[in-house]
Structure 1
């Protein structure tokens, strides 16, 4: 009897160890700096598992050796990580300036997270089961759903308030155009209720305010990656 108990316990420990080995943890930083990045989107291109970094830049994702992870965040160069082991990772994303019309999660095709990640929406639903409400998997799913919803809204804004259109209204380009569009980026609700002619007026009025600022106030400070 004692031998059977020991065997069962050993099997349980072995299975637990196997499960632990399928989870990769780590932290995402801005370059070599100590600044940690939240809401970095992580995707295992082999298994299609996805995750987000938390407010402290930490992440946890189910994966395996020989899998490839993609880390992406607006304004940073996406990083690819090929896993040769599952030791905790320090991932560094290089700052590239603000990408005003960047596609972060999928390719340039229509972004439809409900079709691409149906499990996220299913697990995000509230249920009577406490584990479905307070469990980590459910919490992570609800957080990812909010992320997808924000991403969808941002893409709708980008489709209207884009560099080609804005630069046709005001004489800005390059870094100056990026800073202007970031500082005066309209909300989706504003764009949905504003006719095209009024949007042109909004951009012109914003440009006047922008140029009235002291030069140092017209530039958005970037965090250093050094």
Structure 2
């Protein structure tokens, strides 16, 4: 009887340990040591979600054999196959405007309410249980909810302020056009209040400012930070 009980307890321990496993690491920009905060992280196996913290640090429940996807606006998504639970340094490469437009067009309509309903449920604060506001689960859910809202707004700007439209208004092409669009990218708030002719006026005015800049200031400069020990 004792041997049976021991076997059962051993199996429960192994199961609990497996469930509690966590993958940790940092996310940074490829080619620099810039740590990336609020990178969206998804475990495709157990559907767990997370966002990287300040300093690029992240943690997410995972097991060997799981696939973890890292994504952030302006960067090329990266996929990690978990072979062990050692600390990882994940790097994301900057994504060109043209590539981001292709990526958005090739994916289904962004609808986090449908895809991640649990996030919105956990982000709620119930009158009979105000402690949910202070719980880690509630805080994480509210961060994810804010991230989804920001992503939806960025996609709206991408859709309106796209290469084909801007390129039809200014005589720029290739990298020059992408640099111009990066420097004068409008905010979502501006987009909500300006469309059609107002947007065209904004682009033309921005182009005049662009041409008034010295040539060396028309290129987007990416900051780098020294490697930390």
Question: TM-score under structure 2 normalisation?
Answer: 0.83
CA drift of 1:58 comes to: 0.8
Match of 2:218 in 1: 218
The equivalent of 2:166 in structure 1 is: 166
- Output the aligned Cα RMSD: 2.9
Per the TM alignment, residue 188 of structure 1 is displaced from its structure 2 partner at its CA by 2.3
Question: 1:96 deviation in Å?
Answer: 4.0
1:107 deviation in Å? 5.5
**Partner Cα separation in structure 2 for residue 160 and residue 43 of structure 1:** 28
C-alpha contact (below 8 Å) 1:100/1:163 kept by paired residues: no
Within 1, Cα distance between the matches of 2:213 and 2:169? Answer: 19
Matched position secondary structure for 1:24: strand
Question: What stretches of structure 1 move > 6 A for 4+ residues in a row?
Answer: 9-15
Aligned match of 1:5: none
What are the residue-to-residue correspondences of 1:21-32 with 2, within 5 Å?
21=21, 23-31=22-30
Deviations 1:166-215 (A, max 9, x none): 00000112222122112211222322222411211111011000110111
In 2, Cα distance between equivalents of 1:122 and 1:65? 29
Distance 2:188 2:12 in 1: 52
Which has the larger displacement, 28-37 or 54-63?
28-37
CA contact (8 A) 2:73 2:151 kept: no
Partner of 2:135: 135
Structure 2 unmatched ranges of 5 or more: 1-8
Q: After alignment, is 180-189 or 126-135 more displaced?
A: 126-135
Q: TM-score, normalised by structure 1?
A: 0.84
Aligned to 2:42: 43
What is the match of residue 73 of structure 2? 74
Conserved 8 A contact 2:33-2:224 = no
Cα gap change, 1:103 to 1:38, in 2 (>3 Å): farther
Counterpart for residue 93 of structure 1: 92
1:94: Cα distance to partner?
Answer: 2.6
Could you tell me whether the CA contact under 8 Å between 1:29 and 1:36 is conserved in 2? Answer: yes
User: Hey, what does 1:65 align to over in structure 2?
Assistant: 64
